[in-house]
Amino acid sequence: EMAVDLEDQDWLDMNNVEQAVFARLLLQDPGNHLINMTSSTTLNLSADRDAGERHIFCYLYSCFQRAKEEITKVPENLLPFAVQCRNLTVSNTRTVLLTPEIYVDQNIHEQLVDLMLEAIQGAHFEDVTEFLEEVIEALILDEEVRTFPEVMIPVFDILLGRIKDLELCQILLYAYLDILLYFTRQKDVAKVFVDYIQPKDPSNGQMYQKTLLGVILNISCLLKTPGVVENHGYFLTPSRSSPQEIKVQEANIHQFMAQFHEKIYQMLKNLLQLSPETKHCILSWLGNCLHANAGRTKIWANQMPEIFFQMYASDAFFLNLGAALLKLCQPFCKPRSSRLLTFNPTYCALKELNDEERKIKNVHMRG
């Protein structure tokens, strides 16, 4: 269609480049449509790879980076055109996220997660977050087709599915946690995150373990099911291991646990400090979680494990949560700390509050 519209014109200009980009994104195999614009017989594999990139989210990010670079190099009279090209990458990425169903054989949200993962592992995460910040801003301004939470929830679904199968000592886990650390620092995404982690049944303690935050808290070196050692990756044959081998494995686990607890602590701290809204939501989650799991301390809970695992979160969940909460308490634990004066001595007397009253009075524990 474009060829017909352009007639004898064999170049793109600012009047038709937007249409050209949209048409390019709809191609199922763009590598088969490459046109060499130079007379050189030497293959430029890098340019062919970039132009023929099949994953459209990665393609748009690469276009954003190239346009950003051009902005620093072009003469002043061409600067508006370079800026317009940069803006086109952002607006098209917004369109891709708002209407992913029109792009055949493209899992847009998987591509977004993979791009962030690659950026963290390749040490260019700041470049990707700069791109994402502009895309997020564009999405917030245009919520007619889909709301911003509707765009982000599939991303969190993917992270939940991937993280739940990871182990404490897998390096990949910490890359995913870094993605979530960014999300808990980004005000718009963090609001979606704290809504996303709310359990379907807040009165069931075990349901908190199935949320994205709960799946993270449940990662541990402990047995997933007490007494069941199958598929457990630690100390499988202690009787046949030397003391030195056991010490090495213990040190390795401690090292990963320290890093793991630091990430969880930072996530919680980010949400507490980001805004009053995220602070209220994460404190409500913690208060409701502790209240729903209060029964796990009763004597009968240990005697009836089949009921325990249906009703309450695991020991691993609470060991990790306890470690993160202890780190949050540290600033208040110094002798003669002035922070102690910030405690409300009437906190325990405040009962039967509705959600709005809890938010105003900053009370989230339940009796």
Q: Are residues 106 and 28 in the same domain?
A: yes
**Residue 209 pLDDT level (bands cut at 50, 70, 90):** very high
Structural domain for 68, as ranges: 1-146
Q: Are residues 50 and 132 in the same domain?
A: yes
Q: Are residues 129 and 236 in the same domain?
A: no
Q: Are residues 52 and 129 in the same domain?
A: yes
Torsion of Cα atoms, 308 then 310 then 315 then 318, to 10°: -120
Q: Does residue 161 sit within a domain?
A: no
Q: Are residues 114 and 255 in the same domain?
A: no
Q: Does residue 50 sit within a domain?
A: yes
- For residue 224, CA distances in Å to 221, 233, 239, 331 come to 8, 11, 21, 33
Q: Does residue 178 sit within a domain?
A: no
Q: Does residue 253 sit within a domain?
A: yes
- Res 4: pLDDT: 54
Q: Are 261 and 323 in contact (CB under 8 A)?
A: yes
**Residue 1 pLDDT level (bands cut at 50, 70, 90):** low
Q: Does residue 222 sit within a domain?
A: yes
- Res 23: pLDDT: 80
- Highest mean pLDDT, choosing among 102-116, 240-254, 335-349: 102-116
Q: Are residues 137 and 215 in the same domain?
A: no
Q: Are residues 275 and 141 in the same domain?
A: no
Q: How far apart are CA 43 and CA 38, in angstroms?
A: 10
Q: Indicate the SS3 state at residue 184.
A: helix
Of 32-41, 54-63, 100-109, 114-123, which gets the smallest average pLDDT?
Answer: 32-41
Q: Are residues 142 and 219 in the same domain?
A: no
Q: Does residue 177 sit within a domain?
A: no
Tell me the per-residue pLDDT of 264-278, one tens digit each, with 9 for 90 and over: 999 999 999 999 999
Q: What is the pTM of this model?
A: 0.88
**Mean pLDDT (whole number) for 27-32:** 67
Q: Are residues 231 and 136 in the same domain?
A: no
Count: domains in the chain: 2
SS3 string of 296-340?
Answer: HHCHHHHHCHHHHHHHCCCHHHHHHHHHHHHHHHHHHCCCCCHHH
Q: Are residues 28 and 92 in the same domain?
A: yes
Q: Are residues 219 and 293 in the same domain?
A: yes
Q: How far apart are CA 253 and CA 261, in angstroms?
A: 12
